[in-house]
Amino acid sequence: MIFLKNLFSKKDKTNSITIPFKGFFIDINDYFDNKFHNNELGSGFGIRLNQTSGIFDFISPFDGKINLIFPNKNAFVLETKNNLSLYIQFGNITEKHINKLFVNENQDIKKGTKLLSLELDKIKDDKLTSDILFLVLLENNNMKMDLTENWMTNDLIAENTQISNIVEIKT
């Protein structure tokens, strides 16, 4: 009886990542910054924005919390409701490319919460990339990204596409 109770009382540790904008898939090994290649810092993928000018508003892909905002504001660590850490990096931009930051560290967020606005024209003028990286950090040592399809670099991702699940690694 205890076995059945434990079996059915386990928390679901699966989290889905839905991309809330249109863009192009980037395999982690094709991402511009090679420190992320070969999943050395965690498993993940990138998305190249389809939008190339104007203001781009990035919204949270899930419910959670802002654990960390990097000093130059180009990266966040978000925590899911199941306590998984997801690193999100906005290309190689600097603070001057951010139109507005809408959140603070330790703030609870809902899926769809506006996190920041990027100045895409400034990014393009400075010959930088606005590719967005999504990475499950290695501190989640028993978790990994599991793509929902066999996405290839440059595949078009429609807005609100569930692209990945974060799942437990079976040993």
Amino acid 171: pLDDT: 60
Edge-first strand order for the sheet with 42-49 is 108-109, 64-69, 75-80, 85-90, 132-137, 42-49, 23-27, 156-157
- Asked, for residue 13, whether it belongs to a domain, the answer is no
Amino acid 9: pLDDT: 34
For residue 109, the domain's CATH number is: 2.70.70.10
Q: Do residues 130 and 21 make contact, with C-beta atoms less than 8 angstroms apart?
A: no
Q: What is the mean pLDDT of residues 148-165?
A: 89
pLDDT digits (tens, 9 = 90+) for 4-14: 333 333 444 45
Q: What is the mean pLDDT of residues 130-137?
A: 89
Q: What is the mean pLDDT of residues 141-169?
A: 85
Considering the entire predicted model, what is its pTM? Answer: 0.84
* Separation of alpha carbons 80 and 68, rounded Å: 13
- Asked, for residue 153, whether it belongs to a domain, the answer is yes
Is pLDDT above 70 for 102?
Answer: yes
- Asked, for residue 61, whether it belongs to a domain, the answer is yes
Amino acid 124: pLDDT: 94
Amino acid 156: pLDDT: 93
- Asked, for residue 16, whether it belongs to a domain, the answer is no
- Asked, for residue 12, whether it belongs to a domain, the answer is no
Q: What is the mean pLDDT of residues 54-59?
A: 95
Amino acid 78: pLDDT: 94
For the chain, the average pLDDT equals 85
- Asked, for residue 128, whether it belongs to a domain, the answer is yes
Residue of higher predicted confidence among 17 and 12: 17
pLDDT digits (tens, 9 = 90+) for 46-55: 999 999 999 9
Give the range of the structural domain holding residue 117, as residue numbers without chain letter: 22-168
Is pLDDT above 70 for 20?
Answer: yes
* Separation of alpha carbons 135 and 28, rounded Å: 9
Number of domains in the chain: 1
Kindly report which listed range (6-10, 110-114, 118-122) carries the lowest average pLDDT score: 6-10
- Asked, for residue 7, whether it belongs to a domain, the answer is no
* Separation of alpha carbons 87 and 127, rounded Å: 24
- Asked, for residue 8, whether it belongs to a domain, the answer is no
Q: What is the mean pLDDT of residues 36-41?
A: 80
Is pLDDT above 80 for 160?
Answer: yes
